[in-house]
Structure 1
Amino acid sequence: MITVDDLLATAKDKTGLTDYGDEWFTEPLTVLVRALNDEARLSELGLTLTRRRLTALLADRLRLRQLHKDHPEVRDEQVTVAAEICGLPRTGSTLLHRLLAASRHVTSTLSWETSYPLPFPGEGPDAAERKKRAQDRAALFLRMSPEFGDIHTIEWDGPEEDVILLDRTFTSMSFDSFYWVPSYGTWLRAADQGPAYRELREWLQVLQWQDPAREGLPWVLKSPHHLTAVPTVLAEFPGCKIVMTHRSPAAAVPSYASMVTTMTGQYSDEADPVAIGRYWSDRFATTLRQFTETRREQQDRFVDVRFADVVADPVAAAERVTAELGLPADRAAFTAYVARDREQRHGKHTYTAADFGLTEEGLARDFAFYEEVTS
């Protein structure tokens, strides 16, 4: 059993800090904890890991508030977000993100710093301890789910989704991806995510403040989570464009269901692939309907990229996107990344829609509205 009060108290004991600032986050945390207790069917190991994870996220909230007190200049950092790459998971968004992030003309969140965004006491500017922990964490993750590397390349020091920073707001798609918590997912789709995105800006300020090399560089970020909050993203980051990657949901949905089943299996011995498949099919259909309505109102802030184009000629796709963002291209960096990516890929991700209680015909029917818009 997990309780919010115990988590809050444990994080205070761990850090020696007491000021959480605005405690708006206790609402999403309470919804999440209730779902974890009632729905997630956590294993003994899963329960231990989850308590540890939630405590660490709360500890970071306390440390962020202390950092603001010790270094008020952090809040003066000017954050410019050029793009949030969205799209359903498994639509080429990761490849496109890592391609664009390879450019010397932009910056992006790195895996190790999304896990450990704040300096440890006494740590030097090289962040050696945080990087070591991130390496160890990635290795542990792959030991727990060795097949995951065939689905998604893990780079502890490479570009990673900024949604991991949002985890600290407890308003994040990460949670219903790693756990079976459908009631939390339902709550999330209806929630006001404004406070969470204001805090995302704060976390970007922290990362920018720590690394002077980022000064003046626009951020290129990525996560399917942002599809749940497109109006909020556009309002919080006025210069930002949404880069939408497109792939047939008949391929994307079963692929993500496979990934989620693998991740959920780390925390529960009762992961149900059929329930997972149906949940994500329904969720993505709802999300895409809301997305298509939003983009009609601000067409000039969207850039569309097809999965087939990214796979066929990733360098050309990256150059087109940077042009539409008004940024300089970096063909040499794009080409070098493609070569490295091909060397890293190994294994094959195999699955069928039927593995997750889905059919290609049913997916085609449920997502016909989306296929019409993007065809």
Structure 2
Amino acid sequence: MTATTAPLDVDLLLASARDKTGLFEFGDDWFLEPLGVLVAALNEQARLSELGHELTRRRLIALLADRLRLRALQREHPEILDVEPVVAAVICGLPRTGSTLLHRLLSAAPKLTSTLSWETSYPVPFPGEGPDAAERKDRARQRMAAFLELSPDFGDIHTVTWDAPEEDVILLDRTFTSMSFDSFYRVPGYGDWLRSADQGKAYDELRQWLQVLQWQDPGRAGSRWVLKSPHHLTAVDTVLDTFDGSRIVMTHRSPVRAVPSYASMVRAMSAQYSDSVDPVAIGRYWSDRFATTLREFTAVRARRPHRFVDVRFDAMVAEPAGQARRVLDALDLAPDGADDAAFESYLDRDRRERDAAHSYTAEDFGLSRAQLERDFAAYTEVYL
């Protein structure tokens, strides 16, 4: 927060969203708790720059506006609530463990579908928009270009394309119950709240967003969803309860590599919003968060072991199509020639579009190999 910017205010944000849309009904007000916790942490801890403050204010208003539009769309088209999105797989694991590659491979399979980047940015049709969603797609292209201009190093860390499969956690942002926020901002108070919160209502709304996307695209009829985000590790029981019959597909890589890699990504993202980015604080925060998350995850997995499929990073690198086939088999979706062709087509495109190498060290973020090996020993002994 700079001396020239007023603190973010929940009531003003709500009023601005209503003014922006001309709509007034947010529905169940449960979201006000996470929004309030987030806004307090942004004001007190995030050290927002003047630009970061304005970008954040606009983002929060846009998320609230989408909540209003969701409720209006459900009232206008009550048949949306009868749509049954069937989730086959929820990919999670530490970030930077091959989950993006696996997600995009599986999303290419004709029998599966996933959230696309432009849909997660603009999930509700604009007034008068045709079925081609041309305006939303154009805005998504512009938004992606602006994001990469503000974070020029991000594309070297994580390949982004406006029309490619993207993490559904971006839909969860509209519940204000999302790991996105402590990834983009230094808000440890919000992170503490998030990891102790009951996320049931947030995941119920994620299901509603999938209903909206499936209703808009009849081509998805009969396809099963594959979701993906490391955020899902923070609510594994809730994920499995919300999406009955789904399997958790967990990707595994040595935390010695994965944790500093994610810290590097967070540094690139948070520099958009603050001029006081502390890489050591970032490294220590995420190392602690992930170590705690994996310890808690182990207890959930012990209770429901039949709901999990494991994929190791080295195997994904060595034989990505083979691992995708293995996951389809585990989901009782026998792979066929069409799946194989889709996998090879994606891999060929990925090889041509892949960006520069990502360079970082653990020491850049106040971490060390010995410390990471010690803190994650229980996890690596079982899964690596």
TM-score class, shorter? over 0.9
Query: Counterpart in 2 of 1:287?
Result: 293
CA deviation vs aligned residue, 1:52-78 (integer Å, no higher than 9, x gap): 000000000001111111000000001
Counterpart in 2 of 1:246? 252
**Can you list the C-alpha shifts for 1:96-137, whole angstroms capped at 9, x where unaligned?**
000000111111000000000000000000000000000000
Q: Which residue of 2 aligns with 1:344?
A: 353
Are residues 1:78 and 2:84 paired? Answer: yes
Output the CA distance in 2 between the equivalents of 1:295 and 1:153.
Answer: 31
Q: Structure 1: which amino acid aligns with 2:332?
A: G
Aligned positions of 1:164-203 closer than 5 A: 164-203=170-209
Distance 2:159 2:334 in 1: 27
Partners of 1:82 and 1:271 in 2: CA distance: 39
Give the match for residue 313 of structure 1.
Answer: 319
Distance in 2 between the 1:278 and 1:145 partners?
Answer: 22
Counterpart amino acid of residue 78 in structure 1: E
Q: 3-state SS of the aligned residue for 2:266?
A: helix
Q: Is the 8 A contact 1:105 1:328 kept in 2?
A: no
Q: Verify the 8 A CA contact 1:35 1:182 in the aligned structure 2.
A: yes
304, 311, 317: which one pairs with 2:310? 304
Partner of 1:134: 140
Q: Residue in 2 aligned with 1:219?
A: 225
User: Equivalent residue for 1:159?
Assistant: 165
The amino acid across from 1:136 in the alignment is Q
Q: 1:335 aligns with which of 340, 344, 349?
A: 344
SS of structure 2 residue aligned to 1:38: helix
Task: Give 1:346 deviation, angstroms.
Answer: 2.1
Pairwise CA distance, 1:222: 0.3
Match of 1:55 among 32, 49, 61: 61
Structure 2: segments with no counterpart, 5+ residues: 1-6
Contact 1:83 1:219 in 2 (8 A): yes
What is the root-mean-square deviation of aligned Cα atoms in Å? Answer: 0.5
Q: Is residue 20 from structure 1 mapped to residue 52 from structure 2 by the alignment?
A: no
Query: How many angstroms apart in 2 are the aligned matches of 1:16 and 1:218?
Result: 35
CA distance in 1, matches of 2:84, 2:271: 40
Question: In structure 1, what is the Cα distance between the partners aligned to 2:74 and 2:146?
Answer: 32
Q: Secondary structure at the match of 1:190?
A: coil
| Matched residue, 1:264 | 270
Question: What amino acid is the match of 1:301?
Answer: R
Distance between the aligned counterparts of 1:304 and 1:348, measured in 2?
26
**Which letter maps to 2:153?**
E
CA distance in 2, matches of 1:346, 1:14: 38
Instruction: Give CA deviations for 1:269-296 in whole Å, capped at 9, x if unaligned.
Output: 0010000000000000000001111101
Offset, 1:347: 1.1
What is the SS of the residue equivalent to 2:310? strand
AA matched with 1:353 = A
Aligned mates of 1:251, 1:101 — CA distance in 2: 26
Q: Please report how far the alpha carbon of residue 327 of structure 1 lies from its aligned counterpart in structure 2 after TM superposition.
A: 1.2
Distance 1:124 1:356 in 2: 47
The AA in structure 1 aligned to 2:295 is R
Q: Which residue matches 1:325?
A: 331
2: CA distance between counterparts of 1:269 and 1:313? 41
CA distance in 1, matches of 2:265, 2:334: 34
Matched, 1:66 2:72: yes
Give the % identical residues. Answer: 70
- Amino acid in the other structure paired with 2:134: A
Q: Deviations over 1:5-58 (max 9, x none)?
A: 000000000000110100000000000000000000000000000000000000
8 Å CA contact 1:242–1:302 kept in 2: the answer is yes
Aligned equivalents of 2:332, 2:152: Cα separation in 1: 40
Distance 1:184 1:339 in 2: 41
Q: CA deviation at 1:328?
A: 3.3
Match of 1:189, as an amino acid? Answer: R
Name the aligned partner's letter for residue 117 of structure 1: P
Q: d(CA) in 2 for partners of 1:374 and 1:160?
A: 26
1:46 aligns with 52
Residues 1:102 and 2:108 are matched in the alignment: yes
Alignment of 1:23-38 (within 5 A): 23-38=29-44
Partner AA of 2:230 in structure 1: P
Question: Stretches of 4+ moved more than 2 A in 1?
Answer: none
Letter in 1 for 2:132: D
Aligned length: 375
Return the alpha-carbon distance in structure 2 between the equivalents of residues 78 and 88 of structure 1.
Answer: 29
* Pairing partner for 1:368 from 366, 372, 377: 377
Instruction: Kindly provide the amino acid, as one letter, of the partner of residue 225 in structure 1.
Output: H
The DSSP-based 3-state class of the residue aligned with 1:126 is coil
User: Residues 245-288 of structure 1, C-alpha deviation per residue, up to 9 Å, x if partnerless?
Assistant: 00000100000000000000000000100000000000000000
TM-score by length of 1: 0.99
Given candidates 359, 363, 369, the residue that maps to 1:354 is 363
Partner letter of residue 299 of structure 1? P
Amino acid at match of 1:153: T
Q: Distance in 2 between matches of 1:218 and 1:367?
A: 34
